[in-house]
Structure 1
Amino acid sequence: MRSHTTTLLALVAPAWAGLRFPCSTLTIQRLDPVVQPGSNPSGHVHHIVGGNAFNASMSGDVGERASCTTCQMSEDFSNYWTAHLYFKHPTNGSYHRVEPKPVMPALGGSNGAKGGLTVYYTQFDLSKDNVKTQHVKTFPPGFRMTVGNPQATSKQHLGLSYSCMSGNSRGRIISTMPETPCSAGIFTTHHFPPCWDGKNLDSPDHQSHMYNTVNSEGFTNASPCPASHPVRVPQVAFETVWDTTPFNSMWPAGTPNPFVWSYEGSSYGTHADYMFGWKGDSLQRAMDKSECFYDGCGSIKKQPMATANQCKVKDMVGETTTGWLKALPGRI
């Protein structure tokens, strides 16, 4: 297995990198203001990080409404969320929530984050020539998008992947859940498309206003944006480590993977949501820096993760999502 830190260092271009920072868990509940705005509860449980403006229904300038964020970058009040992972007991069919844990230390580490995930805003998808000709424009207030589809039963685009963690290393990138127990957890990645139509803050399917040029599972160069979606935006990506180790002893040898997403469909259906909420022009200032090695890019204020960990939102649904459950929340 290769070191996650080594892999990241090998991928960082000398002059064009981006932001990488931890975000602690904000809340875990059945809300989805992008796909099911106003619905309380939404269809399945989500793991949510970011600003405390998060609610069942969100619109407009999220960054102006939030007063705190679980992210290390103190001017980032965006919200990031994925379906939550559960363990389905192979014998009695009950479910138990799997907790996220900070991504293993790399390039600064998790710095005391609690749960959560690691967020990237990168320019790795820019080819060498494209760097010189296409400006990276950040998202406007109100922007949102999704990647992946919980109904998918076959491989989606290459930016959605799994890996098996062992110590501080992760194994080969695969498109479905690992087939054997992982000694240090299951690592998931969600890469969002980097090309925008330049007009729509959203679209009916939450994806058509974007165009995907990602051509591999990792942070690599990709082709220029097409005329239909000409605006190059930072590529957003999430990385999450799910602490599956407490359940490995309950996974009988030779049986199928017992871990399921909160929608309990195919593992090909992994998906994620993004709602932009950076304060003012803070993200644009960072993306305009020509040399930025996964830090604050010299223009963004960081906050201690001890401060970020204090940011929370109330339970707006009022249901039990952890402990041993007879059925997944919303699936009774």
Structure 2
Amino acid sequence: MKWTSTVALALLAPANALLRFPCAQLVIDRLDPLVTPGMAPSPHLHQIVGGNSFNVTMAPSKDMPTESTCTTCQVCLDFSNYWTAILYFKAKNGTYKRVPQKQNVGFDGVQGGMTVYYMQDGLYNFQQTSKVTAFKPGFRMYIGDVNARTKEQAERFRQLTFTCLQDMNTRDPQTLEFPTQPCPAGIMTAVRFPTCWDGKNLDSPDHMSHMAYPEYGTFESGGPCPASHPVRMPQLFYEVIWETKQFNNKADWPSDGTQPFVWSFGDGTGYANHGDYVFGWKDDSLQRAMDSPCYQNCPTLQTQNAAAMNACKKDRVVREEVDAWVNELPGGHMPEYIKKRWD
């Protein structure tokens, strides 16, 4: 799929823009309209936030801002959909329990979901002076490898990390694998997407190759985009905080010293951390926001309160148990190396 308009590469005057906002949970469902469109159920369970036009197909021609009647995100003009896999705890008796999500500091009252960032420069760069080109209608992308089970495989994707939260302000150290000790304030997963676009394709067969990482370094370090992907786009970044408090009793953990958490598709290493994105901002509101001088809270964007965010819901398409203890992960995922851990 091509974007046929001319890509404007001219630099404009610097504008300090970094957007950070919460999105409540829209639905937990076994759907993945990006990787497995039209399949219900999809192979594994996801947690989805954003516009309520989310569905099993999500055709590229879909006008998400028009078809959505609400969004779970704080920014009223953002009808995009953001989703990740679900985290589970595996008990010694072999049963599983979904780990709930909680919001970041400062977003009290917002139910589950995640925190979303759009940045011109790195998170701790208060100047935010780099010019970026906002995503276009029909744009979508994926990052990560659902089949990754080694550190070497995970290192192909920069900055998909875990943080063991000692308190809600902890941000380091970050690891590529699941924490190996109980985390007092929960486990935070970070999903940072590539930031260099080829300027032509709104998607690609693998949902990744139309995007690239900087030629060297990272987005935060200001590394240049490669010639094949010359258009610098915002850093899209998710933070998901998993409330592990009820699972932090070390006596409930495996006696062999390994950790008990597993992704909804059966990965017990954490290396297969991944995320999906389908753009759905109304009109040119994201570009206008990125061109405006604002840090975290942008006065040019209308926002809604937690009650309105929480009220935006979507009925599950795939009817299955997602909250009680279950004998197997939805979709039947249970790799041999995980089963043997409990033998």
* Mean CA deviation greater in 185-194 or 151-160: 151-160
Q: Percent identity?
A: 49
* 2:148 is aligned with 1:146: no
- Secondary structure at 1:161's aligned position in 2? strand
Task: Determine helix, strand or coil for the equivalent of 1:315.
Answer: coil
TM-score normalised according to structure 2 size:
0.85
Residue of structure 2 in register with 1:282 after alignment: 285
Q: Distance in 2 between matches of 1:87 and 1:306?
A: 29
Taking only aligned residues, the RMSD between alpha carbons, in angstroms, comes to 2.1
In structure 2, distance between residues paired with 1:301 and 1:231: 28
Gaps of 5+ in 1: 1-13
The answer as to 2:84 corresponding to 1:82 is yes
1:180-210 per-residue CA deviation (whole Å, 9 max, x = no partner) reads: 0001100110000011111111111110000
- Whichever residue aligns with residue 115 of structure 1, its letter is G
| Deviation readout 1:43-66 (Å, 9 max, x if unpaired) | 100011100000011022212211
CA distance in structure 2 between the aligned counterparts of 1:215 and 1:63, rounded to whole angstroms: 36
Task: Provide, for residues 168-187 of structure 1, a one-character-per-residue CA deviation record: whole Å limited to 9, x for no partner.
Answer: 23241111100100011001
Pairing 1:47-126 to 2, within 5 Å after superposition: 47-59=47-59, 60=61, 61-89=63-91, 91-103=92-104, 105=105, 109-125=106-122
CA contact (8 A) 1:191 1:238 kept: yes
Q: How many residues align?
A: 307
Q: Which amino acid aligns with 2:282?
A: K
What secondary structure, in the 3-state scheme, does the structure 1 residue paired with 2:241 have?
strand
| Aligned-partner Cα distance in 1 for 2:120–2:300 | 17
**Contact 2:65-2:282 within 8 A present in 1 as well:** yes
The equivalent position to 2:273 in structure 1, one of 246, 270, 274, is 270
Q: 2:48–2:83: 8 Å Cα contact kept in structure 1?
A: yes
Q: Letter of the 1:141 partner, please give it.
A: P
* Whole-angstrom CA distance in 1 between matches of 2:143 and 2:200: 19
> Residues 115 and 238 of structure 2 are in contact (CA less than 8 Å); yes or no, is this contact kept in structure 1?
yes
Letter matched to residue 54 of structure 1: F
Shift of 1:161: 0.4
Cross-structure match for 2:10: none
Aligned-partner residue type, residue 229 of structure 1: H
Question: In the aligned structure 2, how far is the partner of 1:69 from the partner of 1:28?
Answer: 15
Q: Is the 8 A contact 1:28 1:45 kept in 2?
A: yes
**Mapped partners of 2:215, 2:54: distance in 1:** 29
Range with greater deviation from structure 2 (316-325 or 220-229): 220-229
Distance in 2, matches of 1:48 and 1:214, equals 31
For residue 31 of structure 2, what is the aligned residue in structure 1? 31
SS at match of 1:72: coil
Any unmatched runs of 5+ in structure 2?
A: 1-13, 334-343
**One-letter identity of the residue aligned with 1:182:** C
1:137 equivalent to 2:133? Answer yes
SS of match in other structure, 2:296: coil
How is 1:193-272 mapped onto 2 (pairs within 5 angstroms)?
193-213=194-214, 220-249=220-249, 250-251=252-253, 255-265=257-267, 266-272=269-275
Cα distance, 1:225–1:214 mapped onto 2, change above 3 Å = closer
For 1:271, give the aligned amino acid.
Answer: H
Conserved 8 A contact 2:193-2:237: yes
Residue 41 of structure 1 aligns to a residue whose secondary structure is coil
In structure 2, how many angstroms separate the alpha carbons of the residues matched to 1:172 and 1:71?
28
Partner of 1:44: 44
Describe the superposition over 1:71-91 as per-residue Cα deviations: whole angstroms up to 9, x where unpaired.
0001000000001000011x2
Please state how far the C-alpha of 1:254 moved relative to its aligned partner. Answer: 5.9
Separation in 2, partners of 1:178, 1:144: 30
User: 2:42, 2:285 → 1: CA distance?
Assistant: 32
Structure 2 CA distance for partners of 1:150 and 1:227, relative to 1, 3 Å: same
Q: Distance in 1 between matches of 2:184 and 2:216?
A: 29
Task: After TM superposition, give the deviation of residue 253 of structure 1 in Å.
Answer: 6.3
